[in-house]
A and B are shown apart, each in its own frame.
Chain A
Amino acid sequence: MTPKLLPDQTFYPSPTMAMQAPPETLAYVALLNPDPTASDALAVLDVDPASPGYGAQIARVEMPGIGDELHHFGWNACSSCLCPYSPHPHMQRRYLVVPGMRSSRIYILDTAPEPRQPRLVKVIEADEVIRKTGYSRPHTAHCGPDGIYINALGDAAGNGPGGIFVLDPESFEIKGRWERDRGPQHLAYDFWWHLGHDTMITSEWGTPNMIEAGANPELLLNGKYGNAVHIWDLNKRRHLQKLDLGPEYQMVLELRPAHNPTETYGFVGVVTSLKDLSASVWMWNREGSNGNGTWRIRKVIDIPAEPADADDLPPLLKGFGAVPPFVTDINLSLDDRFLYVSCWGTGELKQFDVSDPFSPVETGSVKLGGMVRRQAHPARPGQPLNGGPQMVEISRDGKRVYLTNSLYRTWDDQFYPDGIRGWLAKVEVTPNGGIRLSDNGLLDFDNMRPHQVHLEGGDASSDSYCFAGGA
C-alpha cells in the first residue's frame, strides 16, 4: 500500500462529523445465488441520482468458489483507525472483506484503483480458517483499531462454540482466535463494540447444524435457539456478563450499539417470541453514572404478529393462523436518533425515534412484500413482491435507507416457498422523522438474492469511532 500524506478522507473522528460526509455514489451488495452449486457475487450499484446510470448495476464480481452464501461483509479500515491508542490514520479504506457463511471461504476484494470495478486479490480457504482459528462459517466483519474482527457461527463440525477471530488489516493473515475466556458463551451471531468503553457485545442465533438445513421447528418450539446477549472486555478478551432475555425469546440477532463512544447503550433485534410469534427490540445499557455498574437489558419495542388465513401462510406457519413480523435486521442512524426495524415476515420497515432509548416512539413505516401481503412498490403497482425488508443500511447523513429482501437461502425457501425474487429498495427519510419509498428506487436482481449493502466511504454499520461530538 502506498503511504498517504493525509488521513483517508473517509475516516471521521466522530459520528457527528461523519454525518457531514458527501452522499454516496456507489453501493456494494452481496448477492446470493439460490443455486448452491453456483457462484455468489458482489454487485456494484450506481446510487448517484445525478448520474445517467442512476439505479443501474455497474459491475458484478463473480466469486470463484461455489456455495459460499455471501451474507455480511466489511472494510479493511475505517474511522476506528483514528483511535488514539492505536492510530493508523494513513491506512486506506480500500479492501472489502467478504466471508462466505456456508463455504467458510473469505474473499478480499480491492476497490482501488477503480471503485466501480473491484478486483479479487486474495482468497482465504476454509481449511486455513479452521486450522488457524478452530472456527467455521464466518459471518460479520468489523474494522477495529488493531485489526479486522470477524465472527463465526461454529466449529469445523458445525457445532458450537461460535466466536471471533482477527485478521491482520494489511497482510490479511489470520492472527487467530480472539477469546481468552468465553465463560458460558456458546452460540454466536453478531458482534460489535463500545470502543469508548473497551466493551465487546455478542449475540446468539444457532450453531451451523441448527440453521443450515433450515429453521428447525423442534429446536424452535423447545427454545433451543439463542436468547442471550454477552458482554466482554474488549482488551482482556474475557467474558464479563450474560444477559438472558428469557426462554420464550428466540434468535437474538443484529447488535446496534450507540455510535457515540461516550454512551453505553444499544439495541438488538429478536426474531420471535414463542408465546405469541411477536418480534421485539431490546436495549442494553450499563447502570450507574461512573460507567462501572452492571449491564442490563430490557424490551423496548414489541411488534405483534398479524392474523392471517392458513391458506396464505407457508407450511411451517399454517397451524398458527398468524404471520410473524420476524425482525431480522435493525440499524441505527449515526446521530443515534432513528432506529430502523425490518419486519421480514409481515413485509414492513418501521422507523422509531430513539432519542430516549428507554422509550422509542414509532415515527414512520413503509410496506413492501411480506409472506401474506406481497405489497407491490408504488413504481410498479401491478407487480407483487416477495421476501420482505431484511438487511437495512443507512447513509452516513441519515437521509437515505437501502433495503434488501433475502435472509438466508434455506430459510428463504421455508418462508417464501415460491422462491425469493431479489430486490433492493431505496427509502427517503424526512428530516424530523417519517419515511417513504423513493419513486424510482426499486432494483430487481432477477434470480440473485441481495443481502448486505455497504456504501462507498462508509455507512451506519461500517465504522466505529473513538471521539464524541464536534462538527
Chain B
Amino acid sequence: MTSGMTASWVVLLALGAFHGINPGMGWLFAVALGMQEGRRSAVLRALLPLGAGHALAVAASIGVALAIGAVVPVAWLRWLTAGVLVSLGVLRAFWHRHPRLVGMRVGMGGLTLWSFLMATAHGAGLMVVPVFVGMTMTGGGGHMHHMPATGAGAGTALVATGLHALGYLGVTALVAVLVFEKLGVGMLRRAWFNLDLIWAATLVATGILTVTL
C-alpha cells in the first residue's frame, strides 16, 4: 500500500468524522428520538438508518463520478467535480432552505431518507468524490485518461464509502450517546457553533484542491 493510499484513508475517515459532528447531520435527531421515548435504545436504533442514509448519499455521488469518469477523461471529471463543489459552497453560504422532510414520529425508512437527503443537500457525498478520484489514480499509476474498468472502480468505491461511513457513524454514535447520557441538550445553546460557513468553505476548498493537487 502506498503512502498516498493511507493518506486517502485518513482523509476519508476524517471527512466522515467532520460530517458526523455536525448536529444537523444526525446525532441530534438520534438524541431527540431517545428523549421522546425516554430510553437509550431509541438513540441506538436511530444510528443504523442515519449511517445507511449518509453512506447511500456518498455512494450515489461516487457512482455518478464513476459513470462520468468512464466516458470522459479524468482531467475533465476533476474540473467538473471542482466546479460543482465550488458552486455548491458558494450557494450554501447565501442560500438557506427550510424543508420539512419528516417529523418527530419518523420511521426507520424515513430516517434513512432524511439522512440521505441532508447529506446530499449539504454536499457531504460530493466532498468525498475528489478523494475517491485520487484513490483510483494512485492505484493505477496516475496517468490514465479514463477511470479504471467498472470492476476495479466499484471495489475502490465500496472501500471509500465504507471508510467515510465508518468515520461518520463512529462520531455520530459517540456524540449522540454522550449528549443523551451525560451532557444533555442544554449544551446546544453554548456549543452549537455555526458550521455553515466552515462547511461552505470546506466545499470550496475541496473543489480548489481537486484541480490543484
> Within the assembled complex, what's the spacing in Å between the Cα atoms of A4 and B197?
10
- Tell me how many residues of A have a C-beta within 8 Å of chain B: 41
> Within the assembled complex, what's the spacing in Å between the Cα atoms of A261 and B98?
21
Kindly identify, within residues 101 to 118 of chain B, every residue whose CB is under 8 Å from any CB belonging to chain A: 101-106, 114
Kindly identify, within residues 319 to 352 of chain A, every residue whose CB is under 8 Å from any CB belonging to chain B: none
A359 at the interface (CB under 8 A from B): no
Within 8 Å by CB of A85, from B104, B185, B190, B196, lies: B104
Q: Which residues of B contact A467 (CB under 8 A)?
A: 32, 35, 185
B151 at the interface (CB under 8 A from A): no
Within 8 Å by CB of B104, from A88, A89, A261, lies: A261
With A5-B193, A262-B38, A466-B104 in contact, do A89 and B96 touch (Cβ < 8 Å)? no
Q: Which residues of B contact A425 (CB under 8 A)?
A: none
With A147-B98, A198-B105 in contact, do A4 and B35 touch (Cβ < 8 Å)? no
Decide: A9 and B189 in contact? CB cutoff 8 A.
yes
Q: Which residues of B contact A13 (CB under 8 A)?
A: 185-186, 188-189
Decide: A3 and B36 in contact? CB cutoff 8 A.
no
Residue of A nearest to B187 (CB): A13
Mark contacts of A3-16 with chain B using CB atoms, 8 A cut-off: 1 yes-contact digit, 0 otherwise.
Answer: 11111010111100
What range describes how many residues of B lie at the interface? 20 to 34
Give the tally of cross-chain contacts (CB within 8 A).
Answer: 98
> Within the assembled complex, what's the spacing in Å between the Cα atoms of A169 and B197?
20
> Within the assembled complex, what's the spacing in Å between the Cα atoms of A11 and B102?
21
With A88-B96, A261-B36, A467-B185 in contact, do A5 and B194 touch (Cβ < 8 Å)? yes
Residue of A nearest to B93 (CB): A3
> Within the assembled complex, what's the spacing in Å between the Cα atoms of A169 and B99?
12
Decide: A17 and B29 in contact? CB cutoff 8 A.
no
B100 at the interface (CB under 8 A from A): yes
Decide: A3 and B196 in contact? CB cutoff 8 A.
yes
Query: Besides A86-B100, A90-B196, 18 other CB < 8 A contacts?
Result: A5-B194, A6-B192, A6-B194, A14-B185, A83-B104, A84-B23, A88-B98, A89-B192, A90-B194, A168-B98, A196-B36, A197-B104, A197-B105, A291-B105, A470-B184, A470-B185, A471-B184, A471-B186
Would you mind naming 15 contact pairs between A and B with Cβ atoms under 8 Å apart? A3-B197, A82-B185, A82-B188, A84-B28, A84-B29, A84-B31, A85-B102, A85-B106, A86-B99, A88-B98, A145-B98, A196-B36, A235-B102, A262-B38, A467-B185
Point out residues on B near A: beta carbons under 8 Å: 23-24, 28-29, 31-32, 35-36, 38, 96, 98-106, 114, 184-186, 188-190, 192-194, 196-197
